[in-house]
Structure formats: C-alpha cells, structure tokens
C-alpha cells in the first residue's frame, strides 16, 4: 500500500430502487424507504473509492467496523450520495468519516474502518477455512 493521505475523499452514488427498500430487502411490514444496510453499502463503497488509488496490485481494503446513524428516510426514485474522508491511518488500518445525502438532506453519518489485505493471502486463508469447517445447519430460536 502506498501512503494514504489524511483527507483523501471518495464518493458513491446510488439511485434508490425497489431492491434497496427496507420493505423489500428486510420485511414487508417496514415502510418503503431506503434500507440502512444499503446506506452502509454506499458508505463502504465511498470509503473504498477514497483509497483505491493507493492500493498496490493484489491488494484490497475490506470493511472491519461500521458505526452509523440513519438520520432521515429516502423514498425510491431518489439519489443517495455517500461520501467518505480518510481521518486516520495506522499501518494497514484505515479510518473514515462517512456521510450520506439524498436530494433534500443529510440522511446518514458515522465512522467506518477498513483493513488493507493481500488478496492472495486472504484467498489462501479462506480456502483453508472452507476445508476445515463443517457446514452447520441453521439453528432455530
């Protein structure tokens, strides 16, 4: 990984469709508004876009922590823009301030962390895990 400057920014824009709504994505009883997990997805993509240029070939940055507030509802057909700013770099750990906006207002805010990983090493660990871990049946509660 190249040095990542504090203050580097990235964004990600998403047109809210039916597949992004809480009522479609999680439970039909929920109102037809942009789902929080979809907001987190947009924020994570913005953070990755903020550091993509600093990654070496064979590297990526995977999410490790998210702390966000969903501040306002967004209906289908509206655009959501997520923004991320690098606020800390500690070795391979990257910290971000994240926010999301629709056309009318800020809809989310928080912090996010990502870890720079070597993709070959990660795939090797995953391959070992697939071989070593039995498939467990779902539990009923």
- Give every CB contact of residue 90 below 8 A, 6+ residues apart in sequence: none
Alpha-helix residue ranges (DSSP H) falling in 4-141: 22-25, 36-51, 119-132
**Catalytic residue at 9?**
no
In the set 9, 13, 20, 36, the catalytic residue is 36
Question: What is the helix (H) or strand (E) element at residue 63, kind and residue range?
Answer: strand 59-70
**Catalytic residue at 111?**
no
Q: Helix, strand or coil for residue 9?
A: strand
In the set 59, 70, 83, 113, the catalytic residue is 70
In the set 20, 44, 59, 74, the catalytic residue is 44
Residues labelled as active-site residues: 36, 44, 70
């Amino acid at each position: 990984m190249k040095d990542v400057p504090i203050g580097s920014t990235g964004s990600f824009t998403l047109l809210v469709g039916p597949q992004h709504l809480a009522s479609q994505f999680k439970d039909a009883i929920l109102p037809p508004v942009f789902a929080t997990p979809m907001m987190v997805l947009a924020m994570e993509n913005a953070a990755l876009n903020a550091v993509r240029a600093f990654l070496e070939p064979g590297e990526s940055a995977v999410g490790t922590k998210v702390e966000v507030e969903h501040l306002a509802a967004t209906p289908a057909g509206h655009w959501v823009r997520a923004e991320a700013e690098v606020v800390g770099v500690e070795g391979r750990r990257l910290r971000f301030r994240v926010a999301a906006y629709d056309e009318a207002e800020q809809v989310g805010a928080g912090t996010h962390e990502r870890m720079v990983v070597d993709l070959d090493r990660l795939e090797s660990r995953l391959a070992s895990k697939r071989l070593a871990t039995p498939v467990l049946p779902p539990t009923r509660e």
